[in-house]
Structures are given as C-alpha cells and as structure tokens.
Structure 1
Amino acid sequence: MSVNDSTGACPVRNEPRIPLHRAITGEPGPPTLTELPDGTRAWLVSRHHDVRMVLSDPRFGRSRLYAADAPSLSGVPDLVNNPDLMFNQDGPDHLRLRRTLRRAFTPRAVARWQPWIAAIVDQCLDQVARREPPVDVVAAYTLPLPVMVISRLMNLDASARSRMRHWAEHAFSDGSHDEDEVAAVLEEFAAFGAQLLAERRRAPGDDLISGLVRAADEEGGIPESQLVQLVCGLVVGGHDSTMTMLGNSLLYLLGERPDCWHRLGADARAAEVLADRLIHLIPLGDDRGTARHAAEDVEVSGVLIPAGSMVLADCLLANRDPEVHPGEPFQDLFAPLEGPTLAFGAGPHYCLGAWLARLELRLGLHRLAARFPGLRLAEPAGGVEWRLATTSRSPRRLTVTW
C-alpha cells in the first residue's frame, strides 16, 4: 500500500458475490455531486482527462482531508487514513518521503530483481505441485508468493512473516474489527516498524529498509513517525496488493476466460500484455474514488468545483473512458492497451511500486499457467467467499484442481 502510493480512497461496498471486474457501474461523465455512505457530499470526476488533472494538479491535495474540522474518511482507525502516511502528505513533505524510495523502484532496479523473484515463483509452484488436488491456491500460492518477495526485499525474519496477515487485516480493516482491537494491533505494528528502523541504523545491510534509512538521513528533516508509517505501509501493502491482483485475476481467468490459459503459459510476451490489461481492468477493491481536497476554486471541464470541496477521482471509470480506451475492454486480453492506464494513479502520487506489481503479476500468472496447463476451478466461481478490506477485495479461498 505504501509502495503503491495511490490509495486513500473512499470505499463503497458492493454485493460481495459480484466479481470485481463486474462491480464497476456507470459511465464516465462530467463532474457531478455525489454522496458518500456517511452522507458527506463530494464531487465525482470520472473521465480520463479529468481524473488525470485532479490527481496531477497541486490545487487538489490529501493532507487537508485530515484537518481537525474535516469529516472522517474511516469509521475505525486504519493505516490508509493515518495522516503520517506518505500518501497523505502533500508538497515538500510528500516529496521528501518519496525521494527516500524512488531510486529503489526504478524500472532498471526492478529488472535486476527478476531472477530471484522468478526463483521464488518456482519455489512456490514446487510447493503447490507437491500437494494433492484440489488445492486452495490463495493459501498455497497467491499469498506466500508476495509475502516471500517483500520479505526478501526488506530482509524480514520468519516471525515478521508470520504476523503479516494479522497486521494487514487490521491495517486495512473492513470495519468488522473492534476499534480498540484495531488500535492495539496498529500500535504493536508501529512498534515493530520503529524497531526495524533502529536495527537497520545500527547494522545496515543491502535491503530496502537499510536503503530507506540511508536516504532519509541524507534527505534530512523527515519525522520519525512518518518513516515508521512508511515502513509499515511497505510491509503490509507490499504483499496485500499483489495477493489481491493474483487472486482476482485467477478467478477471472479460470472462471470466465479459460480459453486464454494455454497462451498465457506458452508465450511470455503475451503474458506481459495480459498482465497489463488485467491491472488496467480489474480493480483491487470497491473504492468509489481516490479522495482529494480542493484548496481553491477549480474549474474541471467547465464545472466549477468550490474551494473546500472533497473530490473523488474515479480511476476505475476513467479506465473505461471510450475517448482513451475504445472498444470492448475484455474482448482481447492479449491486445496492448489503447492508451495509458490510471490503475497506478497519476501525478505526484503515482504508484512507486508499479514496475514491481507488473513483474510479480506477469511472472506469477505466466509460470503458473506453464506449470499447470490443465488448472481449473474446483468449485463454482459464484460460491467464492470474499475477503473485504479498506482498499482491496479478493477471494478468501480459491480452490483449484488439475
């Protein structure tokens, strides 16, 4: 989540049995007033050009959403709406934090990771192959894979790996957890993040956190609380979003597009194109839009949005805008995207982890299809139990056979 610096949205719950790619309703249109579940009024922008403008224009920011007099974006404490989170900073404060990570996630840096990420994928597939089908592919593959990747990047030990899901379920709480319980878990999680930073200051290594500490010291002026939240965001967000993408993609491919499975496993280049299209089309969760605050009166496509307004930039609808992405979006999954995607956001908060997310999804799907060309769902797709969270939603279990 903190790797993906494009969260912080306002969730609107849909019927939990509707696959995510079917949960998107409406058509892109001009800015319009809408209402959040708690009654807060907000401007919804949904056309590609308008969404890109809102996400890129400095007059639309995040930090003001957490002012004392602002309406709450969450009913319970969570990591996503912590004011110290990088995504909830604006201007120089945001840039200082972002610069500490930017070099770590360049396309060139991520490309150097491909061999060992591929080795982790194969290690996970070996574990799957040793099991007797049917197998829950979430427990056996879509969760262990990103956990192992982020653990390698951050040099986390087994005790931290075993707590990741516990921390993530509370950091991205769906509202079903008791408020005091969530607060206690987040306090424990923050203590872990602070301890991790202290350890890497004492004994730096060649891992992501050590690099973050060095870059933060060079940058100067970054509050420790913001660094702690950055580390916590990397730990849980670094695996949760990939787990979600893999699970949702597999449900769609095996449930509705089994005709694509053979080519996905046989053609690495086709798998790359397909991964980009799935990222573009299948959202991580139920977010109605990424929230921003208008610092002054701003005109968007001829509509005046008054100062002080909350604005929701709906990247999901924008990715369906026929002006940029014409045609039936799911028709040819192996066709390159017609235009730029907003799946990773835009502007100053564009997702730092975009290249890593693409690589993990591409390798994870391609090598799974190559290893198990006869993979298929063992239970009807309509019976899937969904895992709900603040910014993501994916199958809690997905039973497959071969």
Structure 2
Amino acid sequence: MPPLHRLSFGPAGPPRLVDLPDGTQAWMVSRYADVRKVLTDSRFGRAGLHTADAPSLSGESGLVSSLDLIFNQDGEDHLRLRRTMRRAFTPRAVARWRPWIATIVEQCLDEFADGARPADLVAGFTLPLPVAVVSRLMGLDAKARERLRHWSQYAFSDGSHPEEEMASALAEFAAFGAELLAERRRAPGDDLTSVLVTAADEEGGVPESQLVDLVCGLVVGGHDSTMTMLGNSLLYLLGERPEVWPRLGADEEAAGALAERLLHLIPLGDDRGTARHVAIDTEVGGVVIPAGAVVLAECGTANRDPEVFPARPFEDLFAPLAAPTLSFGAGAHYCLGAWLARLELQLALHRLAARFPGLRLAEPADAVEWHLGTTSRSPRRIAVTW
C-alpha cells in the first residue's frame, strides 16, 4: 500500500457516471471549479444521502453515518448547530490558543527526547500531541484520554468491526458525551465543551442527541485528523524531502506555508469523493445532473487540477497556493477546525525540526504498516533516530 502522497489521481475532467458499491450510479466531479460548485451550492446537500432509499456509500459507517452529526445536516438544522460552534473556531479565537498549544508541543517533545532510540514517532509524538490538545480544548480527564483511540476506531470504522461490537462501543461513547455535557451544565469551565453547552442553550432548539454527536465528533475528529495529517506529512518529509528539514526548523513562518501545501496535497485517506445529494436538476461543468442523484466531489483530484495549480505541485513546498485548497471542503460544510489543524501542523513540524535537526527514518518508508479508517489512512509506526 503506497504512501498517500504517491496516490495516482486521475486527470480532472467533466462530470461522469461511476458505479457505487450497491450497483447504483453516481456522478463524479473532479475539476476544481466543478467541485467547488458542488460544495458551495445549496442544491447539493448531505441529508438526502441518509434517507431509507438512499444508495449505499462505501466507507460511511460509525459516527460519520449518524443523522445527528453536523456534517449530515442541511438548512436550518445545520445552521443552528454551526452557530453553536463558529465563534469558538474563528482564526482570531484559534490564535489565542497558540501559547498553550506550543507548550503542549514542547512537553511532548521533552518526553519523546527521553525515550530510547530508534523511537516511534506515532506513539511518541503524532498521537499524544493531538490527544493532549483536544483534551485540553474539550476539558477531558485522564480516563477519557485513555479511551480516545478506542472510540476513534469505531467512530471512523473501516467496516471491519462486528455490528454488535460497533453498536456497543458507540453507545458507550454517546453515554460519555451525554455525561460530559451534563457535567458542564452543572459546573461550567473555560473549555470548549462549556462554551458549546452555553451557546446551544442560548440558541435553543438544538436536540440533545445532536449536541452529543457534536461533542463526540469534536473529541475524536479533533485528534484523529491531526494525527493522520502529521504522520503522513512526516513520513513524506523524512522519506523523500529531507533537504527541507533545516528550513522547516529555522523558520516558523515557512513551516506554516509548508503545512498549507501538505494539507493541500496529501489527503487524509484514499480519496473516495465527498458525497452530496442534488435536490433539483442542476448544471455542473456543462452537464445537467438530475434531481435525486448522488454526486461525488473528488477533492484530491481537484487540488491537482492543472487549470488552477502547477503541474509539479511538490516541487516548491514553501510556495503559496494558487487558489484556496479544497482539503477542508468549501461552503456551508467548510471544516470548522481548519484553523486549528493548520496551527497544530505548523507548530508540530517547526518545533520537531528545530529540536531534532538530525531526525531521520530508521526503517524504509515502504515498510510502513497502515491504520485504516472510514475517512483516513495513517502510519501505525514511524521508526526514527537522530
């Protein structure tokens, strides 16, 4: 299984029909302009994908298939949930978190430096860092932190878990979320969970089941995606681009530019396309997509569209992007955690390179074993020395 940066993306082209796992057909869009239209046009939604007669979508199981998850809401239901969150995730709000996130990065590096060599970057850095950040952000105790990886395996299941086992794990996770919300209502703190409880109560009309899924989604999504992106980025940099390591450690601003390019070029997983359901006949890229159709927006291919981006996208890792990346989506469902992900990746890459200028792989990159999830793929272990 190749590293994600080596995935072969087909050429961007007009919308075309493809087969879904259950034999029904969907429309695949892959050009940057077409993908952006699908993601920003309100006629393309998520809720219609979860009706009783909706086709089966490969990989959508666990928490990501929940009807109460914000990602699967449209219209006023979606806006109501989003209003409870958006003030907490603005670029200005996230910038205020920089000092304590930087402190956590340094603490993780201290512990990593004290370990034996060769060391495992995943166990020693790419996993504990985002877990510590999301735990501080959401106000989680040590017991919850220990269970995060377990819950993530089911929340982003690859479909290999037995149905009863998954149902039991997700029920346990939901009970944790409900208990956490109840605790913050009784005794609010300065954590994000308390902010969400207050905002939801002020907003009114937010069902408790949706609020529970919102909190659970933030808890597991807030660490899983960062762990995945950081691990995949480090495997690429140490395995194929060691010449950029000195600049990465010397210049935090350059590390931010590099982080943005890696977020753009290295997907979280094998790109299956971001699914939408179209409400009425809608023209995209010169093709009329009929009402009721499923549309798969191939963001990975769109991020390499030669009409928008350079032909050799990995050539200059510090160059600014020619257009906004679609890695965080676009439109109403744009990822609220985008600025936090950028900050964590920038600080982690910069400070790791600054602390360990001689960091290098201790095993070939092609020998890496992969952890598979619904929406992501990441190294189980990255052996390094210095």
TM-score where L is the length of structure 2: 0.98
Match status 1:358 vs 2:342: yes
The CA distance in 2 between the partners of 1:219 and 1:76, in whole Å, is 30
**In the alignment, structure 1 residue 190 sits paired with structure 2 residue 190:** no
Deviation, 1:273, is 0.5
Q: Contact 1:200–1:209 at 8 Å: present in 2 too?
A: yes
1:237 aligns with 2:221: yes
- The answer for the alignment partner of 1:320 in structure 2 is 304
Q: 1:253 aligns with which of 231, 234, 237?
A: 237
Which deviates further from its counterpart, 239-248 or 319-328? 319-328
CA displacement 1:157-181 (0-9 Å, x = unmatched): 0000000000001111112211110
Paired residue for 1:135, among 113, 119, 122?
A: 119
Q: Indicate the SS of the match to 2:85.
A: helix
Please tell me whether the aligned partners of residues 21 and 58 of structure 2 are also in contact (alpha carbons under 8 angstroms). Answer: no
Please point out which of 344, 361, 372 is paired with 1:388.
372
Output the CA distance in 1 between the equivalents of 2:172 and 2:58.
20
- In the TM superposition, 1:75-114 aligns within 5 A as 77-114=61-98
Deviation at 1:336, TM superposition (A): 1.1
SS in 2 for 1:291: strand
Mapped partners of 2:230, 2:362: distance in 1 = 17
Per-residue CA distance 1:351-388 (angstroms, 9 max, x = gap): 10110000000000000000000000000000000000
Q: What is the aligned partner in structure 2 of residue 38 from structure 1?
A: 22
1:122-271 superposed matches below 5 A: 122-271=106-255
What stretches of structure 1 of length at least 5 have no aligned partner?
A: 1-16
Q: Tell me the residue number matched to 2:326.
A: 342
Asked whether the equivalents of residues 24 and 316 of structure 1 are also in contact (C-alpha less than 8 Å), the reply is no
Q: Which amino acid aligns with 1:325?
A: F
- Counterpart CA distance in 2 for 1:290 and 1:75 is 11
Q: Which amino acid aligns with 2:167?
A: A
Counterpart Cα distance in 2 of 1:217 and 1:74? 36
The residue type paired with residue 112 of structure 1 is R
Q: Per-residue deviation at 1:230?
A: 0.3
RMSD: 1.0
CA distance change for structure 1 residues 304 and 276 in 2, over 3 Å: closer, same or farther? same
CA distance in 2, matches of 1:36, 1:376: 41
Greater CA deviation, 135-144 or 333-342? 333-342
Q: Higher relative CO (CA 8 A, sep ≥ 6), structure 1 or 2?
A: 1
String of CA shifts for 1:89-140, please: whole Å, max 9, x gaps. Answer: 0010000000101000011111010011000000000001101210011000
Structure 1 residues 42-88: Cα deviation after superposition (integer angstroms, max 9, x where no partner): 10001111111001111111001101111233578400111110000
Give SS of 1:25's match: coil
1:28 equivalent in structure 2: 12
Q: Secondary structure at the match of 1:283?
A: coil
Q: 1:330 is matched by which residue type in structure 2?
A: F
Q: Could you report, residue by residue, the CA deviation over 1:196-233 in whole angstroms, capped at 9, with x for unpaired residues?
A: 11111111111101100110011111111100000100
- C-alpha change, 1:64 and 1:76, in structure 2 (3 Å) is closer
Counterpart-to-counterpart distance in 2, 1:172 and 1:236: 9
User: Could you tell me how far 1:37 is from its partner in structure 2?
Assistant: 3.3
In the TM superposition, 1:273-284 aligns within 5 A as 273-284=257-268
Code of the aligned partner of 1:393: R
Q: Which runs of 5+ in 2 are unaligned?
A: none
Q: Name the structure 2 match of 1:62.
A: 46
SS in 2 for 1:33: strand
CA 1:51–1:75: 2 relative to 1, 3 Å: closer
Cα contact 2:59–2:158 (8 A) shared by 1: no
d(CA) in 2 for partners of 1:93, 1:308:
20
Q: Distance in 1 between matches of 2:241 and 2:61?
A: 39
Question: What letter matches 1:71 in structure 2?
Answer: P
Contact persistence 2:126–2:230 (CA under 8 A) = yes
Note if contact 1:209-1:231 (Cα within 8 Å) is conserved in structure 2: yes
Helix, strand or coil: the match of 2:63? Answer: coil
Q: Distance in 2 between matches of 1:261 and 1:38?
A: 46
Distance 2:296 2:17 in 1: 10
Q: How far apart are residue 24 of structure 1 and its match? A: 3.6
CA distance in 2, matches of 1:142, 1:50: 34
User: How far apart, CA to CA, are the structure 2 residues paired with 1:136 and 1:205?
Assistant: 35
Counterpart position of 2:281? 297
8 Å contact from structure 1 (residues 24, 317) kept in 2: no
**Per the alignment, in what secondary structure is the counterpart of residue 273 of structure 1?**
helix
Q: Alpha carbons of 1:21 and 1:75: their partners in 2 closer, same or farther (altered >3 Å)?
A: closer
